[in-house]
Chain A
């Protein structure tokens, strides 16, 4: 019994700047593992958002572009349309995708653009210091909702996976999490499935990954895992929301 475990080739050996316990690092590794397993590193172009993952290009070994805030789906569209042979993925946070970039992601999904989006939902703006995001929970305190998110004033948190699944164009849309090993294996399967839909030129694919932000939630890494399980997962239900078939 026992298995080997190595850093995937598509992942660089640089230490990441992410905070201790931040699950970005896990998600990066899963993407890199999938790129390795599909053998597409030399053909892949990633697109970094504006947010904590803005430096993602330092952590992958494939070609990368860096988008303006919220515009990664438009850049991915531009690349994929002129070079449909390239494998393209965007890596975006909740402020990037669901706030400033909502227009871009909805229209890219609705056009059925054949790229893959990895959407990291950690309920706050990380890089800029923990401000309220479209996915911040009711009553959740953040640096711009110091008294807790007031749904009367700013509405309910957005369920992006369900929102995009309401579009009529076929797509693969799923919500997963990486807060526990059992979930990590499922997230990896979903990421691989998403990339495989792209390689088969089948449909737009998006994997929403419920994640932690210990620093801006003001919690230890382990408490953040617990809070995610108790507070986020009941609201952001896991599972496939839309399949192209």
Chain B
């Protein structure tokens, strides 16, 4: 089963909570602001992501979604 990880930079307010809880240190803050002037989080090391949804749970803005895709 393959998963698709999406972090919507426009929904993110750059609070950083997700980066603090990711067990695999996948997430970091970007250095370019989104349209609202926040530095959004992004997957710095996407390969290490195990799709555990911890970041999704911690995000106050539902900026992160994980969905299933057909086996690539």
Interface of A toward B, CB cutoff 8 Å? 1-7, 11, 15-16, 18-26, 29, 180-181, 184-185, 214, 220-222, 225
Contact = CB atoms under 8 A, between A and B. Distances in A.
A4 B3 contact: yes
Contacts of A180: 21, 58
Contacts of B57: 5, 26, 181, 184-185
A16 B67 CA distance: 23
Given A2-B66, A6-B65, A225 B17 contact: yes
Contacts of B1: 2
Given A5-B66, A21-B15, 13 more contacts: A1-B50, A3-B53, A3-B66, A11-B62, A19-B13, A21-B60, A23-B60, A26-B57, A180-B21, A181-B57, A184-B57, A222-B16, A225-B17
Contacts of B20: 222, 225
B24 to A, nearest CB: 12
Interface string B1-29: 10100000001011111001100000000
Most chain A beta-carbon contacts within 10 A, residue among B13, B14, B50? B13
A22 B60 contact: yes
Contacts of B66: 2-5
A5 B20 CA distance: 19
A20 B54 contact: no
Contacts, number: 77
Interface of B: 1, 3, 11, 13-17, 20-21, 38, 50-54, 56-62, 64-68
Contacts of B11: 15
A contacts with B: majority SS: loop
Contacts of B54: 181
9 contacts: A2-B3, A4-B3, A4-B66, A7-B65, A16-B60, A22-B60, A26-B59, A220-B16, A222-B16
B68 A4 contact: yes
Contacts of B51: 1-3
Nearest to B51: A2
A191 to B, nearest CB: 14
A23 B13 CA distance: 12
Contacts of A29: 60, 62
A20 B38 contact: yes
Nearest to B54: A181
Residue among A25, A214, A220 having the largest count of chain B Cβ atoms under 10 Å: A25
A11 B62 CA distance: 10
A141 B50 CA distance: 41
